[in-house]
Amino acid sequence: MMEKLIIKGGRRLSGTVLTSGAKNAALPILAATILTEGKSRLLNVPDVVDIDSMRKLLSTLGVAVSSPGEDRHIIEVNIGALSRLEAPYDLVRKMRASVVVLGPMLARYGRARVSMPGGCAIGERPIDMHLAALAKMGATIEIDHGYIEARARQLVGARISLDYPTVGGTENIICAATLAKGTTVIDNAAREPEIVDLADFLNAAGARVSGAGTHQVTVDGVDGLTGVEHSIIPDRIEAGTYALAAAITGGEVTVSRCNPGDLGAPLEKLLEAGCEVETSEDSLTVKATGRARPVGITTQPYPGYPTDLQAQWLAFMTLADGSSIVRETVFERRFAHVQELRRMGAKITVDGDMAVVTGVERLQGAPVMCTDIRASASLVLAGLAAENSTVISRIYHIDRGYERIEEKLRALGADIARKRA
Ligand code: EPU
């Protein structure tokens, strides 16, 4: 069923919004349950479509996954023997993050067949570093009819130096290393908070992972892992998106149950743009104080400015008092939102990895289309600030990563509704 979001812009948002659990922490942790034996209970899992896809993938493998109960934020899994060691094309095609089952399946069962993910809307997104690392740990890897075929009787610890701090790659390697023989050291590891959450889950299950959150992660292999209860960290990207919703609408919003410490770079930028920002241990408040000053960003791996908040920042800058430059260094073509924002009157030119944004006085509502999760969020932000109505189609992209976005925004005073097309 095709649905659309209809936003009547121009309302200043105010109030408090609760952050959901982090999709990008919950996905690898759900995959990592494959490494364990017995029952695990995950709390604060976001109720979004990508999590449903991971649920489906785990069921396909033969994992007993609880069906959504009264509290849709709790998922229980019971790991016995997997009945199938294959992540099929149909599921991987819908969600590339499915490849994080590769390391866990290989480590626990000595074999994994995972559909090779293709390119996607935001870039080529190869997984060469994942595969090279697993090969270094003793796996044989072949590509057969579009599938990665990985085998290893027993993975062995290795020293792995990543050319780039890949998030999914670091996750796959950490998972594989937990049950490998000996010690694995990952240099130039990704430092994202989601990596730390994965390590916390694994360590609670009996793994020996140290250094998560730094450039060097060390994993001492153990014989087995047990099921545990674990609560997923708050979604820093969702929290940042609501902070920017406050900023772009000239409002004042408190984002609660988040971790402001995970949002250092974006909050710094909001201050530079002229917003007032207050933080407590688990909440942040952003208040706009007039038209935004133009402030450029360059996306970087954590702790730099996150690529997953680039599109939203760009939307904010379309209304700033001057020109700014947004550079995307993580993905090679993550500017699909630019053409849609232009349809709303934004002045943006793109040259390679750089978008030059010249602030305009106002945006006008228009029919626009989503292309990926974060591009969609930027269209919602633009719609909230634009004159008249914005009709956003292909919103299944938003539902992949944002829990009940229209309800949360409506509670902040936005005029936004979901309609069947
Ligand atoms: N890359 C390679 N080879 C590899 C792995 C990565 O060339 O073997 C390149 C990618 O093509 C990309 C860059 O390295 O240009 C970064 O990719 P990375 O592996 O770090 O990203 P990912 O694990 O595929 C996760 C998030 C993304 C987020 C990026 C960067 C999940 C499920 N996904 O992707 O989230 O943008 O890290 O922070 O954790 C989203 O939530 O909307 C989203 C796209």
Ligand 1 atom with minimal separation from the 331 CA: 15
The DSSP output letter for 232 is P
Own/partner contacts of 122-129, CB < 8 Å, gap of 24 or more, are 122/331, 122/333, 122/334, 122/336, 122/372, 123/331, 123/332, 123/333, 123/334, 124/332, 125/96, 125/331, 127/99, 127/168, 127/169, 129/162, 129/163, 129/164, 129/166, 129/169
Ligand 1 atom 33: residue of nearest CA: 24
| Whether residues 205 and 310 fall in one domain | no
Average pLDDT for 349-363: 97
Ligand 1 atom 13: residue of nearest CA: 330
Q: Which token pair is 250?
A: 């000239």
pLDDT tens by residue, 357-402: 999 999 999 999 999 999 999 999 999 999 999 999 999 999 999 9
Q: How many whole angstroms separate alpha carbon 368 and alpha carbon 378? A: 11
Q: How many whole angstroms separate alpha carbon 147 and alpha carbon 158? A: 25
| Whether residues 134 and 277 fall in one domain | no
Count how many domains the chain has: 2
92 alpha carbon – ligand 1 mean position (Å): 15
pLDDT tens by residue, 258-289: 999 999 999 999 999 999 999 999 999 999 99
| Whether residues 379 and 283 fall in one domain | yes
Which pLDDT does position 374 carry in this prediction? 96
168 alpha carbon – ligand 1 mean position (Å): 6
Average pLDDT for 187-198: 98
- Whether 415 shows a pLDDT value over 90: the answer reads yes
Distances (CA, A) of 80 to 29, 33, 61, 62, 212: 17, 11, 11, 8, 28
Which pLDDT does position 118 carry in this prediction? 73
Which pLDDT does position 1 carry in this prediction? 67
Percentage of residues in the chain with pLDDT exceeding 90? 94
Domain end (from 231, 258, 291) = 231
- Positions annotated as catalytic residues are 120
Domain end (from 231, 263, 291) = 231
Average model confidence (pLDDT) for the chain?
Answer: 96
| Whether residues 207 and 268 fall in one domain | no
Domain end (from 211, 231, 251) = 231
CATH number for the domain harbouring residue 360: 3.65.10.10
pLDDT tens by residue, 117-150: 877 788 888 999 999 999 999 999 999 999 999 9
pLDDT tens by residue, 114-123: 999 877 788 8
Q: How many whole angstroms separate alpha carbon 117 and alpha carbon 124? A: 10
Which pLDDT does position 404 carry in this prediction? 97
| Whether residues 32 and 160 fall in one domain | yes
Find the helix or strand (DSSP H, E) in which 417 lies: strand 415-420
Which pLDDT does position 81 carry in this prediction? 87
